[in-house]
Homo-oligomer: A and B are copies of this chain.
Amino acid sequence: MTDRVGLVFVISGPSGSGKGTVVDILREIYDEIGVSVSATSRSPRPGEADGVNYYYKTREEFESLIKNGEVLEYTQYNSNYYGTLKSEADKITASGKDLILEIEIDGGGQVKRLLGDKCINIMLIAPDAAELERRLRDRGTETEEAILGRLARAKEEIKEGIKMDYLVVNETGKSRECAEKLLTIIKAEHMRAHRAENYLKKNFPEN
């Protein structure tokens, strides 16, 4: 186990990619995922413990961590920061486990800058433009203008997908198959030759 190099898989996807369901299934079928404790600037609630539920930071501390490149990705909700600390990712990967980060479309580049080759960016997409539009309309809760805006943005993001490490089509009604495609990528990445340095040193020592 100690010669297994833990990796960080950043999974993103524009509206209509079906990312949420797929990542939920991936977490069920892949057991080498480390449990990551997030950081937040909100106050602990009764019964919560630092380092268990969250790492609790003041707003100023959180902003200073962001500035220093110590936060892999974050979001704001109810004027509080929520995010993943680089130190937490390092702890998990050092133990040989992988970290799965499900983030917004423009966050993967940032994680890669901070983690280098240990970060693998994967984008999920709908199979084609017509199906993408159908998925966005099916929500049935938005104005025509909002739908068209969301569709245009999703198409722009998909075009940028070519810059990711992997682009995975999430066929309609096949979330399980899509999660298995992610698992295929994860397994293959662990077989990349340049990650085998420790394995070779241990199992084929010089003599």
What residues make up the interface of A, taking CB atoms closer than 8 Å to B? 123, 127-129, 132, 155, 158-159, 161-169, 181, 184-185, 187-189, 191-194, 196-197, 199-200, 203-205
Contact = CB atoms under 8 A, between A and B. Distances in A.
A162 B127 contact: no
Contacts of A127: 203
Given A128-B203, A166-B192, 11 more contacts: A158-B204, A161-B196, A162-B197, A164-B193, A166-B191, A166-B193, A167-B192, A167-B199, A167-B200, A181-B187, A184-B188
Contacts of A194: 162
Given A187-B184, A188-B188, A193 B161 contact: yes
A193 B129 contact: no
17 contacts: A129-B205, A132-B204, A161-B196, A161-B200, A162-B196, A162-B200, A164-B193, A165-B193, A166-B193, A167-B191, A167-B192, A167-B193, A167-B199, A168-B191, A181-B187, A184-B184, A185-B191
A184 B127 CA distance: 22
Given A161-B193, A188-B189, A189-B188, A204 B155 contact: yes
User: What is the total number of copies of this protein in its complex?
Assistant: 2
Contact of A200 (B158, B188, B191, B203): B158
A203 B189 CA distance: 27
A77 B155 CA distance: 55
A16 to B, nearest CB: 12
A204 B167 contact: no
Nearest to A205: B129
Given A200-B159, A203-B128, A123 B193 contact: yes
Contacts of A169: 199
